[in-house]
Amino acid sequence: MKELVKYIAQALVDNPDAVEVSEVEGSQTSVLELKVAKEDLGKVIGKQGRSARAMRTILSAASAKLKKRTVLEIVE
């Protein structure tokens, strides 16, 4: 999951080296925290949050196959 989010985020931003994904795992839910450069934050979120929503949809579909719940948080 972590690599999937990192791959998608790096494709969206101008500075792919600044993309960091950290994972906090729980028993049933894991939280992925995505950090990007400040100037790329708008590109990851997208207009009206569409890019962020699309990433969350892909993530939930992939995590459903693993029978786990995954939440994506975009951190400034």
Hunting for tokens 């999951």 — which residue is that?
1
What average pLDDT does range 28-52 have in this prediction? 94
pLDDT single digits (tens) 17-35: 999 999 999 888 999 999 9
- 65: buried, middle or exposed (CB in 10 Å: 19+, 13-18, 0-12)? exposed
How big is the CA angle at 61 (ends 39 and 36), to the nearest 5 degrees?
A: 15
| pLDDT value at residue 12 | 94
> Cβ(39)–Cβ(32) under 8 Å?
no
Confidence of residue 69 (pLDDT cuts 50, 70, 90): very high
Question: Strand 20-25 and strand 69-75: pairing?
Answer: unpaired
CA–CA distance, 20 with 48 (Å, rounded to integer): 23
What average pLDDT does range 48-62 have in this prediction? 94
What average pLDDT does range 42-57 have in this prediction? 95
Superfamily of domain 2-75 in the CATH hierarchy = K homology (KH) domain (3.30.300.20)
What average pLDDT does range 48-74 have in this prediction? 93
